[in-house]
């Protein structure tokens, strides 16, 4: 019975992917892949000090890439056990802390924060903390699921145990990356731009993404949702599925300047 159900789900996912080919290329960009393969690597150079915020057991750098760039990487996570499960050599130093209360020392060349901030109850404070890690001229590169996305709204409504059971049953591979409680506090492009400005960060680049796979397990639902994303792309940048930004540290935050 389980194998039959798996075959049915896989067929729906196949249909959903075929349907996707009817949409404009800009709406078919996978934000997660674009962030990892293009946007974030563009900000990286040799001999940089990089803070990987929320990477935990899944750091942005693999050990070979870290060695190639001669990067020094600081792993920052609220959970020491998550950091301990990272590949050996992935982090040169770890910081176990709540990103909402952390105060950095302005030494980072780059801060990478990928699919963490939706799990943070106070995003404004998290942005402040990342700004405090950066030296002037440093950059924070963030990737965030949007609060206004259909999957995010559903995530906020469903009970934790139920949504995890459904997610892992439909997409078993997500067990490695998903399963933490989500808040989506102020997780919209407009809020991020405001928080950046408040903390001496200038938005250098923004990328908006309209693709995700959460509804692909049931093609009729996926087709309706995809039509919605097409309409949303014409009407508002606040109705994206996910978004990414490059934030340049240009000046101290207001509270830092007054000390």
pLDDT in tens, 139-156: 999 999 999 998 898 888
pLDDT higher than 70, residue 165: no
170-207: b (≥16 Cβ within 10 Å) or e: bbeeeeeeeebebbbbbbbbebbbebbeebbbeeeeeb
Give 1's Cβ-side CA count (13 Å radius).
0
- Quote the CA–CA distance of 145 and 259 in Å, as a whole number: 34
* Cα→Cα distances 171→13, 99, 116, 233, Å: 10, 29, 19, 26
Give the chain's end-to-end CA distance (angstroms, integer).
65
Tell me what pLDDT residue 157 has.
Answer: 80
Average pLDDT across the chain, whole number: 90
**Tens-digit pLDDT profile for residues 168-219:** 566 665 555 555 788 999 999 999 999 999 999 999 999 999 999 888 888 9
- Quote the CA–CA distance of 234 and 225 in Å, as a whole number: 15
Percent of the chain with pLDDT over 90: 77
- Quote the CA–CA distance of 197 and 251 in Å, as a whole number: 10
């Amino acid at each position: 019975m389980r194998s039959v159900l798996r075959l049915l789900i896989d067929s729906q996912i196949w249909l959903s992917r075929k349907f996707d080919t009817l949409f404009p290329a800009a709406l078919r960009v996978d934000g997660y892949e674009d962030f990892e393969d293009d946007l974030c690597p563009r900000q990286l150079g040799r001999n940089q000090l990089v803070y990987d915020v929320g990477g935990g057991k899944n750091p942005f750098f693999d050990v070979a890439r870290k060695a190639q760039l001669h990067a020094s990487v600081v792993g920052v996570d609220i959970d020491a056990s998550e950091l301990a499960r990272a590949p050996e050599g992935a982090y040169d130093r770890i910081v176990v802390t709540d990103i909402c209360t952390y105060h950095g020392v302005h030494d980072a060349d780059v801060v990478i924060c990928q699919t963490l901030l939706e799990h943070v109850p106070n995003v404004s404070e998290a942005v402040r903390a990342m700004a405090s890690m950066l030296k002037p001229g440093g950059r924070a590169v963030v990737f965030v699921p949007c609060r206004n996305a259909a999957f995010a709204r559903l995530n906020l409504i469903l009970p934790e145990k139920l949504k995890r059971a459904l997610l892992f049953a439909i997409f078993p591979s997500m067990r490695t990356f998903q399963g933490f409680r989500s808040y989506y506090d102020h997780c919209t492009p407009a809020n991020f731009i405001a928080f950046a400005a408040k903390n001496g960060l200038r938005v250098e680049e923004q990328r908006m993404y309209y693709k995700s796979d959460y509804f692909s397990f049931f093609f009729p639902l996926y087709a309706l949702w995809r039509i919605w994303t097409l309409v949303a792309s014409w009407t508002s940048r606040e109705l994206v599925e996910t978004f990414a930004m490059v934030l340049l540290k240009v000046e101290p935050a207001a509270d830092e300047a007054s000390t």
